[in-house]
Amino acid sequence: MSTRIPRVVDLTRTLTPGFPTAIADVPPVRRWQATTYESHGFSANGWSLVEHIGTHVDAPVHFVPGGRDVDAIPADELVLPARVVHLPSAQLVTVADLLVEERRRGPIPARSAVLLCCGWGTREPDDRSYLGWDGTAYRAPGWSAEAVEWLVENRAIVALGTDTSSIDAGDASAAHLALLGAGRYAIEGLVNLEQLVECSSFTLVVGVIPWESGTGGPCRALALVAPAEESP
């Protein structure tokens, strides 16, 4: 085993009480002081939040009745070879985009995670720019159902990600249904994917808590880039 230490890129947003969600009618994230140094001798916060907030995982059951809960995703599906697809001007990622990507940097690794970099990771997490709300509709870019189906059937992907707040474009749900319906999971709200666009493959670690019966949940997503995989 190589003793050379990989570079670690943190792909995770800081979760704040003000973090926005496009899910209508859910209470905002709340944080309160559960104990203080004065009251208990130590400090601890309490939190209440919807599972789909910040950088987070969507488990299959999020859209598919009877699908896997987040606590049923095994650890070996949370450490994956991964590839970033960099499409800053696409609205809907197509199969043709994936074929261009493969011609440029080789086949997408089997049983991997494929992460869409739209350049949204640098946006402030406010309702308007992060969620793609333009005052009348959500217009964030995302994956087409056809591209998701192609990756599932031809590359046997385990997970799909994005630096927007949803793998779907706008308020569509076709990509969610295609991915989660195939038993795979999503990672949404990633950051720093720009740092990985030239890596042909790196290791993605998705540190999501196995919430009992959870439909997903906030995660710490990390990229481990081996020295040999760095661009020259």
Q: Residue 56 Cβ, how far from Zn ion at the closest point, in Å? A: 8
Secondary structure letter of residue 182 according to DSSP = T
Restricted to residues 79-98, the positions that interact with Zn ion (CB under 5 A) are: none
- Nearest Cα neighbor of 6 from 232, 231, 230, 193 is 230
Q: Residue 7 Cβ, how far from Zn ion at the closest point, in Å? A: 28
Bridging pattern class, strands 30-35 and 44-48: antiparallel
Q: Residue 215 Cβ, how far from Zn ion at the closest point, in Å? A: 10
Restricted to residues 114-173, the positions that interact with Zn ion (CB under 5 A) are: none
Strand partners, 223: 9, 204
Tokens standing for residue 77: 């599906």
Beta carbon nearer to Zn ion, 195 or 217: 217
Stretch that binds Zn ion, among 35-43, 55-63, 66-74, 110-118 (CB under 5 A): 55-63
Beta carbon nearer to Zn ion, 58 or 101: 58
Torsion of CA 172, 178, 181, 187, to 10 degrees: -70
Chain residue at closest Cβ approach to Zn ion: 58
Q: Residue 46 Cβ, how far from Zn ion at the closest point, in Å? A: 25
Residue listed under structure tokens 């990390």 = 222
Q: Residue 58 Cβ, how far from Zn ion at the closest point, in Å? A: 4
Question: Binding to Zn ion by residue 101, rule CB under 5 A?
Answer: no
Question: Binding to Zn ion by residue 58, rule CB under 5 A?
Answer: yes
Amino acid found at 130: Y
Residue count, binding to Zn ion (CB under 5 A): 1
**DSSP per position, 56-70:** EEE-GGGTSTTPPPG
CA pair distance 206, 76, nearest whole angstrom: 10
CA pair distance 229, 210, nearest whole angstrom: 31
Q: Residue 181 Cβ, how far from Zn ion at the closest point, in Å? A: 13
Tokens standing for residue 91: 């609205």
Stretch that binds Zn ion, among 31-39, 56-64, 98-106, 110-118 (CB under 5 A): 56-64
Beta carbon nearer to Zn ion, 169 or 199: 169
Interface positions with Zn ion (CB under 5 A): 58
